[in-house]
Structure 1
């Protein structure tokens, strides 16, 4: 048994298959919560600023970062040890060279937790460490509220 398909029907079939593949390829599922999506840029902006400037923990350097910090974190840091060489925001005195904002978990409509990877390259060796960064939304702005090394 032989099937005869006109050129017109064949072109229509090919065109339909192409449209279907395009539409199917364009529908990417949203894997992050809306809180994670809206706060990611704030965390990235803070760490870009932090890495682009002097990371030494001094009152002057803390003041430069205030616009990125929650009220509670500003208070905790202003009461802390100002003589420490360890940077609170990277949890180390050996300042890393680069960072990457990773996975996020939402802990409500105004609190998220990010994994941030820190990278070093010294003496031809690469090293990385993960820290946890908590951001909170205050007055419509996402701010850094806590940083932990997990140690």
Structure 2
């Protein structure tokens, strides 16, 4: 076989191998393409019980209940379609976690429909400023 034909054969094989790897990767990730599931998505499609997922939405007003142990929290995540998901989290909640604020929770669903979160990420709006910076900015404005 000539050197030119060998290079062409190796190039074609390399392209086929890369294309195959990309297709395998895409098929493995097709169900995990969403960053998180909204409550309406869960109500519409359902979520398998045997894998970790993320849910996101707003913490419903009046839904946060803290247990006597000091680290377990029950709350309800909802969205604009009035679909809701009951959530239980055991751990230290972020400072920004409060009612009527955005939250992304990572965990798994139980057979009864409750979501057991292993991690909570509290979201803030685009106007958020940490208290340390908000205080220093306010002081510099008054000094000028």
TM-score, normalised to structure 1, is: 0.33
TM-score, normalised to structure 2, is: 0.35
Q: Which has the higher contact order (CA 8 A, sep 6+)?
A: 1
